[in-house]
Structure formats: C-alpha cells, structure tokens
Amino acid sequence: MNKFIFVSGGVCSSLGKGVAASSLGALLEGRGLNVRMVKCDPYINVDAGTMNPYQHGEVYVTDDGAETDLDLGNYARFTQSPLSRANSITTGQIYESVIRNEREGRFLGHTIQVIPHITDEIKGRITAVAKEDPDTDVVIVEIGGTVGDIESIPFLEAARQMIHEQGRSNAISIHLTLIPEVAQHELKTKPTQHSVKAMQEQGIQPDLLICRAPVMLDDATCRKIASFTNVDYEAVFVSYDVDTTTYELPLIFYEQGLDQVVLKKMGVETRHANLKPWKKMMEQFHRRKGTVRIGIVGKYMELHDAYKSVYEALFHAGLANEVVVEIVKIDSARLEEAADAESVLGANGTSPVDGILIPGGFGSRGINGMVKAATWAREHKIPFFGICLGMQIMVIEWGREVLKWADADSTEFNQNAKHAVVSLLEEQIDITNLGGTMRLGKSESVAINSSKIHTAYGERHIFERHRHRYEFANKYRVEMSGSGLILGAFTPDASLVESVEWPDHPWGLGVQFHPEFKSKPIAAHPLFRDFIAAAKARVQ
C-alpha cells in the first residue's frame, strides 16, 4: 500500500503544521501503519546547513549527515519514520538537479519548464521515499510556506498532479488554517474560507481541514466551515491551544477522530489504535512534581528555535524524571561581562540554576562566558552537560584552570594558542580552505567501562550524530587524563575522543556529538535523562 497525504497551510505561517503532520503520523503508526515523513521547503537554499540560526532556527542533522530544516526534528520526536537526505526536499535541490540534467543533455533538447520538469522532479523525489522501503504504507508530505506564496506553487502543483494521478483514495489533501479571535470571543471563519479558495485555485480541494483556534470550536462553527469549503463536516478538525504540551496533540486529534477519517478517505480498514505510549507520557506529565532550573549558556538565546531539539530533549527528560524542567536562558556574552559566575548562576544570583548545559555553536563570541560557567559548575559540583561546543569548552576550561595553561584554547577561536587543546585534525588543516570538512551524521563511539556515559546508555557501543569541525587535540590526551579528566568514549579505532567527564563530580559530562536529535517524548534520551536526574537529586 502506498498512500500519500499532503499537508498544506493557509492564512499565515507558524500554525504548527509540522506538529499537526507529525501528530497524524503518530496516530497512523498507532494504527499499525508504516509511515514516512517528508518536508518540502520552498526556499532556494539547497539545505539548511548554511542558514543563520537567527533566521531559520536550528539545523537538524540526519543519520546520513544531511543538514535539514528543523521540522524534521518534529517528525523524529513524534514518529518512527526513518529520516535522511531524501526526506527533506528544497526548491534549491530541485532546481539544482534539473539544471544539472539539462547541462548533461538529458532532456534531449526540450525546453525546460516548471511544468512538467520541476514538478516531475518533485513528484519523483516524493515517490522515491515511498519506494525506498517496500513496507511503506503512507507518506505524509508537509508543504512548507502558506498557500498563495509564489514559492510554494510548484509544490502544490506537484501535489495536485499526484492527487489526480493516484486517485483520491490514494492521495489526499489536509489543509491547516487559522480561526482567529477578534473582539471578545468572536471566532472568525472567513480567513479559512479564503484559504480553501486559494487551495481550490491551485486545483486542490482539501479533504480534511485542521483549524488552529484558541479554543475548541462549537458544532455550528464547524458546520459553517464545512459548508463554505466543500469539506465534509466530519472532516473538520480543531487544533486548539493547549496549556499542557503540544505532545498531547496526537491524543486530542484521536479524540476528534482524525485518524479514523483519514483512514476512511484512503479506504483503509479501521484497525485497533494503540496509543499507550502517548497516554503514559501524559500521565508522566501530570505526575511531575517540583522544578529544576537548567541554565542554557549559549549564543542564540533570543530565538527559541535556535536550540529547539535541546529544549525539547530537556522537556522529555523532565517527563522521564517526573519533574518540571524550567529553562533559564543565559547569554554567554552577559556571563563574560559579569564580575563572577556566582552573581549570575549562584543561589543568590540573578539567574540561579540547578544544572548547566552548554549547547553546540560556532564562532568566538561569548566563549569566555561559557568557560566561566564550566569552571563554576565543576568547582561547585553543579550537574553540567556539554554538547559538541560544550564538550570543547570543558576541555579548554580544564586546560586553563586545572593544568594552568592560561592560553588553552580551540584553534577555532585562537589560531596561535600555544596550548591548542581543541583543533583541526592534522590531515584536515590543508583541506579546510576548500570547505566541506565538517564531520556530519551518524557514527559510532565506544564508551569505556563504568564511565557515566556507559552507565547512561547501559551499552558501550553508541551511535550518535555529529556536526562539527574541531576535535579534542590528541597530543594533550596524556596530560588531560593524567590530571584527572576522564576520557569517557572514543571512536572505535580510538583515534578521536568523543566524550569527557569530570572526576569527583555528581554529573559533569561532555559529548562531541548531538544526542538531542534522538530524544523523544515517549523515550527520553539517556544522557538528558541522567543529567536531569542529577539536577533533581541536587534540589531534593
């Protein structure tokens, strides 16, 4: 069975299209279907790797090393869909390959046009995801942007063609719109009516509507929406604001029968719905007691999306430990200027915290503030978690404060540091100028026995994703470990250090990879789980 569900959005962006598409994915998986998620992004960048986090939020990295849109992170958190380069389609990729084919003469002299060449390329890529695994039942394709945008037209046209070619029971359209509230408690359906008209102008009649609204809509409003949009009344759903968590959305949609209507439209027999993991997760949510305050010391603090997966993973860890995790955003530049870390992070400081996390990052701004936070956490035995850049900060801090090498640094920040404790690999130095030296995607690390990282995973062989250029400098291994820093994990050939731990410390651990990409609400990542457990133990 190969079915396609196209999820588009109207009225405005940021309505939670990705979360709605993912929640549907979770529900269909609960019904025993094999689901694949695909994101179509209308921007012309080939991938999200070069995008500034301020503009586009976090870069989500897949096992095969693709640097993708953060929506893939939603898919990973809600569904079991394998995610790779193939699941993230951008206008840039589409044009790049059509133009390459044209240059290679593959179109035999034809004039290359948006229809059919660009739309064929889009359809080909979507179909390829369905074909990748013969067991795939449903491909959910989220079309980025808003109907009416110039950029998304080719994607909507490709969807229209696929719905037409596959037949309505094999390909359906779900449209997400906004029901705004004006004056007091007046909910307006007009923007939704217009949005569906805009879809119809593209030749697509939505089969289902998901209306984002501040509250559940009453029957009369749903009937009115249905009658104005040619959508069945039973196919109008409401994604209302929740004060719990967006992870409740699969259960909210289930209550309204979303998956049942989708299955019916696609002619799939109704199967038993297993939503146990989601129900259990909500029970954990309601059982949470007490609060731990986790300081995130980073660069891009103003924009929540820049560390999206890290924040989500902390929330998951809070569920697993049944404690509320309060995130305290600390701009590392501010910490750099502060007289001492205590006055910011300490019990009487401006931002008192029970644990500190330093996430990934690039560039030298605020580095000394991060080092200051690490020293403070190490000396005061505050649980500390360093991710990628955060692990490199632990190594620099150890060099400066324990080994007393005042100039210990990464060559990313100081090319001339005598003690370059974090640096490029020798063999990388010449190729850096050519770019493309980033270590990206999944690889194996092996933990040493009885390290904290080993305890967390309950397993010595660890598979996680990387996205970095610099490494723990091997020539300092002896001095670092001789002075007590625990080198907790290595690549299988032992050529690279993958994790460090502080000795005589409740939980101070850094990893060169990005565990946040693999955490799920129904399965918290073991490192985040243990970090929050340590912070919780400190509070109690």
> Is 469 a binder of ligand GLN (CB under 6 A)?
yes
> Is 413 a binder of ligand GLN (CB under 6 A)?
no
x/- mask, ligand GLN, residues 376-395, rule CB under 6 A, reads: ------------xx------
Contacts of 7 (CB under 8 A, 6+ apart): 17, 20, 21, 24, 140, 141, 142, 143, 174, 175, 176
Nearer Cβ to ligand GLN (139/421): 421
CA–CA–CA angle 264, 270, 275 (5° rounding)? 115
Residue 78: how many CA atoms within 13 Å on its side-chain side?
27
Q: How far is the CB of 413 from ligand GLN (least distance, A)?
A: 9
CB 499 within 8 A of CB 447: yes
**Which parts of 3-42 interact with ligand GLN (CB under 6 A)?**
none
> Is 470 a binder of ligand GLN (CB under 6 A)?
yes
| b/e per residue 441-457 (b: at least 16 CB within 10 A) | bbbebbbeeebbbbebb
H-run or E-run covering 355? strand 355-358
Q: How far is the CB of 297 from ligand GLN (least distance, A)?
A: 13
Q: How far is the CB of 59 from ligand GLN (least distance, A)?
A: 9
Q: In whole angstroms, what is the distance from residue 35 CA to residue 138 CA? A: 5
Q: How far is the CB of 360 from ligand GLN (least distance, A)?
A: 3
Q: How far is the CB of 113 from ligand GLN (least distance, A)?
A: 40
Which of the residues 175, 388, 397, 525 is marked catalytic? 388
Q: In whole angstroms, what is the distance from residue 177 CA to residue 186 CA? A: 16
Q: How far is the CB of 78 from ligand GLN (least distance, A)?
A: 24
> Is 308 a binder of ligand GLN (CB under 6 A)?
no
**Which parts of 149-208 interact with ligand GLN (CB under 6 A)?**
none
Q: In whole angstroms, what is the distance from residue 72 CA to residue 51 CA? A: 15
Q: Residue 439 has what DSSP assignment?
A: E
Which of the residues 142, 157, 516, 525 is marked catalytic? 516
Q: Which amino acid is at 170?
A: N
**Which parts of 310-369 interact with ligand GLN (CB under 6 A)?**
360-362
Strand 409-410 vs strand 420-423: parallel, antiparallel, or unpaired? parallel
Cα–Cα separations (whole angstroms), residue 271 to 4, 10, 261: 19, 31, 12
Contacts of 524 (CB under 8 A, 6+ apart): 313, 316, 317, 319, 320
Nearer Cβ to ligand GLN (66/179): 66
Nearer Cβ to ligand GLN (41/412): 412
Nearer Cβ to ligand GLN (28/388): 388
Nearer Cβ to ligand GLN (310/345): 310
Nearer Cβ to ligand GLN (43/362): 362
200 by Cβ neighbours in 10 Å (0-12 / 13-18 / 19+) ranks as: middle
Nearer Cβ to ligand GLN (30/360): 360
Nearer Cβ to ligand GLN (378/514): 514
CB 525 within 8 A of CB 519: yes
Q: How far is the CB of 53 from ligand GLN (least distance, A)?
A: 11
Q: How far is the CB of 398 from ligand GLN (least distance, A)?
A: 17
> Is 412 a binder of ligand GLN (CB under 6 A)?
yes
Specify the stretch interacting with ligand GLN by CB under 6 A; choose among 223-231, 311-319, 461-469, 499-507: 461-469
Residue 37: how many CA atoms within 13 Å on its side-chain side?
28
C-alpha gyration radius of the chain: 25
Q: In whole angstroms, what is the distance from residue 184 CA to residue 344 CA? A: 42
Q: Give how many residues touch ligand GLN by CB under 6 A.
A: 10
Residue 516 among the catalytic residues: yes
Specify the stretch interacting with ligand GLN by CB under 6 A; choose among 69-77, 168-176, 465-473, 477-485: 465-473
Residue 514 among the catalytic residues: yes
Strand 236-240 vs strand 291-298: parallel, antiparallel, or unpaired? unpaired
Specify the stretch interacting with ligand GLN by CB under 6 A; choose among 99-107, 186-194, 468-476, 530-538: 468-476
Q: How far is the CB of 307 from ligand GLN (least distance, A)?
A: 11
Nearer Cβ to ligand GLN (29/312): 312
404 by Cβ neighbours in 10 Å (0-12 / 13-18 / 19+) ranks as: exposed
Q: Which amino acid is at 236?
A: V
What is the binding site for ligand GLN (CB under 6 A)? 360-362, 388-389, 412, 467-470
- Which residues are known to be catalytic? 388, 514, 516
